[in-house]
Amino acid sequence: MATLPIPIDSELPEVLVGAASVAVRERASCWAPTASRSTLAAVLALSTMAFGSVQAWAWALITGAVLLCSTLWAWDVLDRRVLRLVWTPLYFPATILLLLACLQFTAHLSADPAATREALVKLVTDLAIFFLACQLWHDASPRRLRRLGLFVTVFACGLAFFGILQFFASPAMIYGIVKPRSGGWIFGPYVNHNHYAGLMEMLIPVALGYMIPSRPQPASQPRGVLVRSLGPLAILIAVASVLLSGSRGGMIALGLEAVLVTVIAARCLPSTRRRRAAVGAIVGVAASAALFLWLDPGRISRRLGAVADLPRAPEATLGERLELARDALHIFRTHPWLGTGSGSFATVYPRYRSFASDLEWDHAHDDYAEALAETGLGGGVAIVLAIVLFIALALGNVRERLGRDDGWIRLGAAVGCCGLLAHSFGDFNLHIPANASWFAFLAGIAVTGVLQRSEPVAAPASAPNSGARLAAIAETSPE
C-alpha cells in the first residue's frame, strides 16, 4: 500500500515526508477529518440499531451519511491543497465488481433491474466506506486507534447487554414494541439471530485487540487499570450474547477466530506474554461458558448442541442450505459469464428450486454461491482475488505489525473480517446493509496498517521560490 501525494496548488507542492510532513499536517489540520471520522463511526452504530438497516429508509440514510463523510474528506483535501490518496490493490477487484454491476444495469442484462439498481447503490456505499476508512485511518496515531478500539468495545458490550435483556424481557419483539411481520429468531436489533452473531464476530476481535497492548503497560497507568478491569468483562458479555443468540454459524466463526488468534499469538508473542495470554484465554473461555450456562434457560444449549447434527437441526437445515447452494450453482451454469444481475436471486430462484418448500428464499444462505449466480465468472474471479489480496495485506508481516502500538487493533479488524468471510459460507451476512458496512470499514482499517511512502514530488519549474518556502517549513517544524 502506498500514499500518492498529488499537489493541487502548483505554487507549493506539499511533500509529505520527513519533518515537512509534520509541519504540513499541523498547518493544514482542521475540523473536517475529525468530523468525518466521528460521523462515519456514528452511522455504523446507528445503522446497526435500525434493525441492521434492512429497510429502505435505513440503508438510504447510510448512503446519505457516507456522502456527507465524503464531502468532509473532500473539504479537508481542498484545505490542505494536496490530494493524498492511499492506494491498495483491493481497489482492482472492487472496480471490477462495480463496473460489472453498472454493465448489468445499464445494458439491461439483469433479470430484475430494480433489484440490481438497489444492489449497485449499496455496493457504491460500501466501497465508499472502505475508501474513507483507508484515507482517514491510514496514518492514524496510536491514540486515535485506541479511541476507535474503545468505541467498538463499548458499543459491542452495550449491544450485547441490550440483546441479553431483550432475550429475557421480550424475545418476540425488537425494542419491546416492534414485532416482525414474517416472524424470525430475534436477537438484539436484528430479526435474524445469525446476523446479530455476524456483527458481533467482527466486533469482538477488535475489542480484544484494544485490550491487548503491544507493549506491557505499567499497573499504575489509568489505561492499564481500565483495560484489565473492564475490558475482559465487556468481551465476556459479548461472547456470552453470541452463545445465547443460538447462532451455530456464529459459534463456529468465533471458534475459528480463536484458533487464528491463538496461532498468531503463539508465533509472534514472547514466551512470557504467551503464557499469560494462554492463561487469560482459558479463563476467558471458562468465564464466558459459565455466564452463558447461568443465563441459558436450557433450549439454547440444546440448539447449540445440534451443531453436530445439522441435518435434523431446527431452522434452515444443512440439507436445505446445501440444496440452495447447488441450485445457485445451477443458475451460475446457466448464466456463466455475467450472471443474472446483482440482487436478482430472489426473482430468479423459484424457476431453479429443486426441493419442495413453503418458504420464500430471498438469499442462498451462501454468499459465495449467490454471488456466482448473480455476477457470473467475472464476479467470482473478482471476489476470489479480493479475498486473496485481503488476507495477504491484512495478515502479512504480522510480527512486525504487532510491534506497533496499533498492531493488535488492526489485527482484530482483520480477524473479524476473516470470521465473517467464514460465516458467509452458511449465511448471507454480507447482504445485511449494516453488517456489510461494518465489514467494509474494518477491512479498510485492517489493510492500512503498513504504508509505503511515495517518493517526494519535484517542484515545478514555474514555481520560483517553492523550494525555499518548503525548506523553511522543514526548519520550523518540530522534531
DSSP one-letter string for 350-396:
GGT--S--SS--SS-S-HHHHHHHHHHHHHHHHHHHHHHHHHHHHST
Q: How far apart are CA 236 and CA 17, in angstroms?
A: 43
How confident is the model at residue 29, as a pLDDT? Answer: 53
pLDDT tens for 216-258 read 555 445 555 556 567 788 999 999 999 899 898 999 999 999 9
* Cell digits of residue 434: 449494516
- Sheet strands side by side (includes 82-87): 82-87, 2-7, 452-453
Q: Is residue 167 scored above 80 in pLDDT?
A: yes
Please state, as a whole number, how many other Cβ atoms lie within 10 Å of the Cβ of residue 245.
Answer: 29
CB 26 within 8 A of CB 37: no
Q: Is residue 89 scored above 50 in pLDDT?
A: yes
Strand partners, 86: 3
Q: How far apart are CA 75 and CA 428, in angstroms?
A: 36
* Cell digits of residue 449: 496498517
CB 54 within 8 A of CB 435: no
213 burial (CB, 10 Å; 0-12 / 13-18 / 19+) is: middle
How confident is the model at residue 18, as a pLDDT? Answer: 42
Strand partners, 386: none
- The residue ranking higher by pLDDT, 328 or 81, is 328
* Cell digits of residue 24: 504540513
- The residue ranking higher by pLDDT, 181 or 208, is 208
Q: How far apart are CA 287 and CA 302, in angstroms?
A: 19
The SS3 assignment for 291 reads helix
Q: How far apart are CA 53 and CA 321, in angstroms?
A: 24
How confident is the model at residue 224, as a pLDDT? Answer: 55
How confident is the model at residue 152, as a pLDDT? Answer: 96
How confident is the model at residue 319, as a pLDDT? Answer: 79
Q: Which residues contact 472 (CB under 8 A, 6 or more apart)?
A: none
Could you give the angle at the alpha carbon of 61 between the alpha carbons of 59 and 65, nearest 5°? 120
Sign of CA dihedral 214, 217, 221, 227: positive
Burial per residue of 447-474, b for 16 or more beta-carbon CB atoms within 10 angstroms, e otherwise: bbbeeeebeebebeeebeebeeebeebb
- The residue ranking higher by pLDDT, 215 or 248, is 248
Say which range, 53-62, 99-108, 112-121, 402-411, has the weakest mean pLDDT.
402-411
Average per-residue pLDDT for the chain: 82
Torsion of CA 296, 300, 302, 307, to 10 degrees: -130
Q: Is residue 97 scored above 90 in pLDDT?
A: yes
Q: How far apart are CA 276 and CA 97, in angstroms?
A: 44
* H or E element that contains 87: strand 82-87
Q: Which residues contact 412 (CB under 8 A, 6 or more apart)?
A: 149, 205, 206, 207, 208, 209, 210
CB 211 within 8 A of CB 412: no
For residues 297-324, average pLDDT: 63
pTM: 0.86
Q: How far apart are CA 459 and CA 448, in angstroms?
A: 28
CB 15 within 8 A of CB 457: yes
Q: How far apart are CA 85 and CA 138, in angstroms?
A: 10
